[in-house]
Structure 1
């Protein structure tokens, strides 16, 4: 103590501040680590050793150096000197580990630092041995240990070897740490390179501050050692008590800056925990811990400085802890309310049922507003794109861009190959290639990859937090699923309305044809035949007329029956998809094509048998619709044009049915239909997890590929 109230108060407050934050950081690193490997444990031990040092420092300052008993002095000095010796080396090891020194294969950092690592390790062991020897000499002042005392007091040019060695050791550790941070190895984390680049200024600043601390400590040690040649340390302390107190406050304050810089790197970029992304909650807790350390340090430091009675200090501590607990509860509740307010646009109903029943335009189903709310209010992204992939792509036509003025998104055909299927996966992108987007987040469903969310930089150029990406992933998956479901429902209801209208037309046509055409003809034929029979003659003219009328009626009834759809689902269930499909092509379309070629692999035959009945029927009808379109429109109204059909069925990771014809191409026939049939079957294929891919070239070919998952769709597993 310096006997100056404000100075003693400041020293105690800073010491308590450092103790609390180092303890919090040490426990936070080990509790929140993704994988508690040896590097995490070293970082934890190093931070807790720093806390132990300031525990010793606080105890010595609070008790007073001159008031310590012999045993208390040995205990607290040992508790403080052990961390003082180990901490520089621990910092060096942590920076090496963070910079990738032990990455495999060996890198330039390893080759550059391996000799120095051996040197600093030797110096650490020597320092710990010297500390142990000093403790033994203090505890057991026996004459036979005089040689050991002489060795410890050995000096070069009047400077004790231990003091010079410790100064060199600390400078070497901090200097090598700066070198490791300046040229680190490649990171193995997904966002490790970005996080390392963002955290490097904080860690480098902390190392530079530690270098300043080292120089100050070295200067103080050399000053005390030189002065101790003429008098004892106690005499030096009593005479320069104010100077030592000011230096103590200065060094502790610089270390407090180091802790704040290190804490910022830990909570903002997860430099030690191994997490792919930092967590915003951790940053908020860090701010609360800093506020607690400041408040507790000032309050309790003041009570110690003024020598307040322990009872009052205890009461003040209880009140202070209660206040901070209430404040944390309040902030937690406020954050919860803020999150609920941000998520409200995403959980609100889109009223899809009402819009579908009211037959509104599907564009009125608003998916833009929640996506814009996600990008602006939750992610704070400058640019974002949401695109559907896989089976969802035919149902969600174009990507959603944020903002509306964002650059058009190029093709995403090659991006799917880069996803490995990891739940927390993120891949980096070239901003020039993908419309200023720098991150791609895959979106998954039970059927596999359903889409991708592309994000540009945050508006504040920070990193996306773990919570933000998890929220963005869930909301984006829900938007794609809802959009696809709405489009699927709209298509099915639209087609159902058309089918109902067609059914009504067919019913009316049937009634009209039977009532107005067929029945009068049959009645006329009967009258004619009855008249001929009554006259006892079968005149050729009347007989011919009756036969003609009966023939026309027969033809009309045949045409009417021919227009009615046939039912083949029981054949699919009984024979299987491939056999039923082969039969329908041979029976209904063999005379339409000049040649029909089949190429079916044995693996495909086995896989087709595993399809659920519902899936097999959907694929059967879709394939038959493709063949029917080729038969009806392939020649383009030119009866003499050659038309061949090739059907290839293969199985790799899914069942693939490729149907090729050398016709005029899709949309190039004068008899081309509306495309509602193919739209219906594309929708049904999406329902069972498949997809329909159409490739065509004018007057050259049309290739339609049906991709079907071989695993039963979970949506219809109970119905299959």
Structure 2
């Protein structure tokens, strides 16, 4: 790792020690076959050669001293997040190595203390004086236990062995629970030993079963979390569209701003972050988000600088950046529809490392933003097509009216005047009558042909709706509620938006009349009000009672309203149908300014 990768001497020692271990195992099993299987441990200890004990201690000494030299000569090769994490873990590993060196010293006096005459052999004299022997064992176990705790803390806090992002938040929790669980197990065994029950095999079996079950459970939990993460990546939320791409790009930034700030401050706890979307979809400009907002004014925060960086992404699409940069790593999320998203993350506020769960959450959030961009593009495209269709339909209606009124009717009228001068012939008189009748029919058609936009402009939306409902239904069925001054300061002025709102209200009136029963039995209340809660606009509420006995196919209600709801969404509005109870329905129509 890092500086040590360039030192070939450590690899040589590694292979030499591995070969020595294999040779020792083979030699020990072949040499011990000449002894019976029921030989006691103390008798076997007395016949083990001194040279074998010495060679084993030399092997242990090399295994401990080499890591100590390696750790004290460790240098960071690159100022990137994984190497910095390893550098932070070095003090813990030094402590582990020194504790193991203490274990070596105790084992040295236990194995060779009597042979070299320094102390009395604790193993041979354990029958008469077991205190010294148990004292050595307790010392060894204490050093090993402390070393395991320190090493475990390093493993769950810093990345020291793998090339992936550690620690995992769940791993920290499991490590804490393991310490508490085995501490309770040790205390229980100690208490039971006092009462004469010393079957440690039961505790060992229980601990092995617990560890295996927890390992399987963690594997299943990780698979389930990956599935949930993929589901989270597919969640998108569609919002209203705006007039042009520039305004829409600003609204998208505002839409993503709050979730992005929450992600960076509360979940990732990062000091700085930058999101860049290399958009490949029409109508949508590149979205750039900064955290915190003040780095947006920084001269070094130009997004083009980060786009042109030569980043090398690893298998998980994570690139580690040099320490002199403002950001520590870059997360890349690919999308076939919206383009690639780059999330640059700075160092954590507390100086720690990013956990796997945090990176998965960040990746899911970036996927959500890319999917939202694609959905926004589709909404803009459909909105543009719908607006064009409405304009073409309006032009076609005006053109039909223009041709009938300005071309066909004058020609028919001129023909009638010319033919009326020839009154002597009977055939001409019949043609005049036919043309006169045709002229009357076309004129009547033009008078009856409604021009909704002109009618709304002339009367206003509220009066136009009252007039239309009075012509189609009994006027007494409707109760109108609105502020009289609302007619003068109606919040919506665009003709196409007023026309969409007019037809949506008319369709709602027809549904209310259809399902409210006989005339005069149930009133239909209609209210108009200005909405000031979230955004300014007009809110229309239509409330009516439902005669379910007379309408067995009530579930078909609202099918036509879905079309008008889709049209209202183009202008940022909505239409909702809510059943307050089994006999009452409420339709809400909202359209912003």
Distance 2:318 2:414 in 1: 79
Distance 2:52 2:274 in 1: 62
> Is 1:281 equivalent to 2:180 in the alignment?
no
Alignment-derived partner of residue 87 in structure 2: 197
Alignment-derived partner of residue 405 in structure 1: 294
Alignment-derived partner of residue 374 in structure 1: 263
Alignment-derived partner of residue 151 in structure 2: 262
Q: Pick one of 102, 105, 113 that aligns with 2:10.
A: 113
Deviation at 1:372, TM superposition (A): 2.3
The range that moved more, 295-304 or 424-433, is 424-433
Distance 2:30 2:305 in 1: 69
Alignment-derived partner of residue 462 in structure 1: 352
Distance 2:379 2:109 in 1: 79
CA separation of 1:526 and 1:133: change in aligned 2, threshold 3 A: closer
CA RMSD across the alignment? 5.5
1:380-419 deviations in Å (ceiling 9; x for gaps): 2222222211414861543122223334542347647857
1:234-275 deviations in Å (ceiling 9; x for gaps): 663356533433332222111112112332344444645664
CA separation of 1:289 and 1:410: change in aligned 2, threshold 3 A: same
Partner of 1:389, secondary structure, is strand
Partner of 2:342, secondary structure, is strand
The range that moved more, 411-420 or 170-179, is 411-420
CA separation of 1:293 and 1:315: change in aligned 2, threshold 3 A: closer
The answer on whether the counterparts of 1:443 and 1:450 sit within 8 Å (CA) in structure 2 is yes
Partner of 1:445, secondary structure, is coil
Alignment-derived partner of residue 193 in structure 2: 304
1:66-88 deviations in Å (ceiling 9; x for gaps): xxxxxxxxxxxxxxxxxxxxxxx
The answer on whether the counterparts of 2:81 and 2:329 sit within 8 Å (CA) in structure 1 is no
The answer on whether the counterparts of 1:379 and 1:458 sit within 8 Å (CA) in structure 2 is yes
1:189-215 deviations in Å (ceiling 9; x for gaps): x96534433433333322222122212
Distance 1:495 1:115 in 2: 71
Deviation at 1:461, TM superposition (A): 2.0
The answer on whether the counterparts of 1:392 and 1:451 sit within 8 Å (CA) in structure 2 is no
Distance 1:346 1:150 in 2: 66
Q: 1:429-448 to 2 correspondence within 5 Å?
A: 429-430=321-322, 436-447=326-337
TM-score by length of 1: 0.44
Q: 1:446-485 to 2 correspondence within 5 Å?
A: 446-447=336-337, 449-485=339-375
1:568-618 deviations in Å (ceiling 9; x for gaps): xxxxxxxxxxxxxxxxxxxxxxxxxxxxxxxxxxxxxxxxxxxxxxxxxxx
Deviation at 1:426, TM superposition (A): 0.3
The answer on whether the counterparts of 2:82 and 2:159 sit within 8 Å (CA) in structure 1 is no
Distance 1:152 1:344 in 2: 62
CA separation of 1:242 and 1:99: change in aligned 2, threshold 3 A: farther
The answer on whether the counterparts of 2:159 and 2:166 sit within 8 Å (CA) in structure 1 is yes
Q: Pick one of 405, 416, 427 that aligns with 2:319.
A: 427
Q: 1:300-379 to 2 correspondence within 5 Å?
A: 300-308=189-197, 352=239, 363=251, 366-379=255-268
Distance 2:236 2:316 in 1: 28
Q: Pick one of 273, 280, 303 that aligns with 1:391.
A: 280
Alignment-derived partner of residue 49 in structure 1: none
Distance 1:191 1:388 in 2: 24
Deviation at 1:427, TM superposition (A): 0.7
Aligned residues: 401
Partner of 2:303, secondary structure, is coil
The answer on whether the counterparts of 1:367 and 1:483 sit within 8 Å (CA) in structure 2 is no
Distance 1:320 1:140 in 2: 26
Q: 1:519-598 to 2 correspondence within 5 Å?
A: none
The answer on whether the counterparts of 1:181 and 1:200 sit within 8 Å (CA) in structure 2 is yes
> Is 1:224 equivalent to 2:114 in the alignment?
yes
CA separation of 1:113 and 1:345: change in aligned 2, threshold 3 A: closer
> Is 1:489 equivalent to 2:379 in the alignment?
yes
Alignment-derived partner of residue 250 in structure 1: 139
TM-score by length of 2: 0.53
Distance 1:194 1:246 in 2: 40
The answer on whether the counterparts of 1:300 and 1:317 sit within 8 Å (CA) in structure 2 is no
Partner of 2:185, secondary structure, is helix
Deviation at 1:233, TM superposition (A): 5.3
Distance 2:418 2:275 in 1: 74
CA separation of 1:373 and 1:278: change in aligned 2, threshold 3 A: same
CA separation of 1:228 and 1:456: change in aligned 2, threshold 3 A: closer
Distance 2:123 2:319 in 1: 62
Deviation at 1:313, TM superposition (A): 10
CA separation of 1:412 and 1:303: change in aligned 2, threshold 3 A: farther
Partner of 2:331, secondary structure, is strand
Distance 2:3 2:25 in 1: 27
Distance 1:366 1:213 in 2: 60
CA separation of 1:521 and 1:431: change in aligned 2, threshold 3 A: farther
Distance 2:16 2:206 in 1: 48
Partner of 2:7, secondary structure, is helix
Q: 1:634-645 to 2 correspondence within 5 Å?
A: none
Distance 2:10 2:18 in 1: 12
The answer on whether the counterparts of 1:108 and 1:185 sit within 8 Å (CA) in structure 2 is no
Alignment-derived partner of residue 450 in structure 2: none
> Is 1:173 equivalent to 2:71 in the alignment?
no
Partner of 1:225, secondary structure, is coil
Distance 1:179 1:257 in 2: 21
1:283-324 deviations in Å (ceiling 9; x for gaps): 3222222222211122123323542276x99699989999xx
Partner of 1:400, secondary structure, is strand
